[in-house]
Chain A
Amino acid sequence: EAGVAQSPRYKIIEKRQSVAFWCNPISGHATLYWYQQILGQGPKLLIQFQNNGVVDDSQLPKDRFSAERLKGVDSTLKIQPAKLEDSAVYLCASSLDRHLAGANVLTFGAGSRLTVL
């Protein structure tokens, strides 16, 4: 089966510019996650969707980050304006409906590496 698709793989921007990342999860996966992984750290959850609804966005810096999953399939994560500390890999993951067994087995995409200069 096709995996989790993410684009772009790499992006370099200057601070205060904006950037958007796209994710297409595994077909049939109702739950979608965006994680931020700073160099040398483990991934940190930014936002979790169940279909087109937000389950948890408590760690999303809402003054500059936004995410949507309008039709409950693919998702976009936006940063505006970017700061130097936003340099990281943004990982998208998907899993089965959170009410089903095995819902915490996440399948990750390859990630989008952001460098903010």
Chain B
Amino acid sequence: SQELEQSPQSLIVQEGKNLTINCTSSKTLYGLYWYKQKYGEGLIFLMMLQKGGEEKSHEKITAKLDEKKQQSSLHITASQPSHAGIYLCGADMGGGADGLTFGKGTHLIIQP
């Protein structure tokens, strides 16, 4: 079974609209990392969340980690074409620096 579940799998949003992507784990996470991937390219680091209830923002993207540290959301405000891509959540499941476990990703398409 998938340790990290992302939803939705894909999302089509009209330019200028807001959207939210979710990432859920059945286990308590030691850290949650959001990455963005464009087709045919590597992953670009967006944000890291480590504390329960933590929230971080960068430009129009806000990420939150719930108090139980089992669920995270990524919210994009006033979406733009540059936001299109695949968003992946990665988690530190073990508490050590032993690499990240990734979800399957959410494919975001922005319609003009």
Enumerate chain A interface residues (CB-CB to B < 8 A).
4, 31, 33, 40-45, 48, 55-56, 91, 93, 95, 98-99, 103-111, 113
A38 → B minimal CB distance (Å): 10
Q: If A40-B104, A104-B31, A105-B48 touch, does A31 touch B42 (CB 8 Å cutoff)?
A: no
Contact with A105, one of B4, B40, B42, B45 (Cβ below 8 angstroms): B45
Enumerate chain B interface residues (CB-CB to A < 8 A).
4, 31, 33, 35, 40-45, 48, 88, 90, 92, 96-105
Q: Enumerate chain B residues within 8 angstroms of A99, measured Cβ to Cβ.
A: 97
A40 → B minimal CB distance (Å): 7
Question: CA–CA, A56 to B102, complex, Å?
Answer: 16
Question: CA–CA, A110 to B41, complex, Å?
Answer: 5
A-B Cβ contacts below 8 A, count: 64
Q: If A40-B104, A113-B40 touch, does A105 touch B33 (CB 8 Å cutoff)?
A: yes
Q: Enumerate chain A residues within 8 angstroms of B92, measured Cβ to Cβ.
A: 104
Q: Which 7 A-B pairs have the closest CB atoms?
A: A42-B102, A98-B97, A103-B97, A108-B42, A108-B43, A45-B99, A110-B42
Q: If A4-B42, A110-B41, A110-B42 touch, does A104 touch B104 (CB 8 Å cutoff)?
A: no
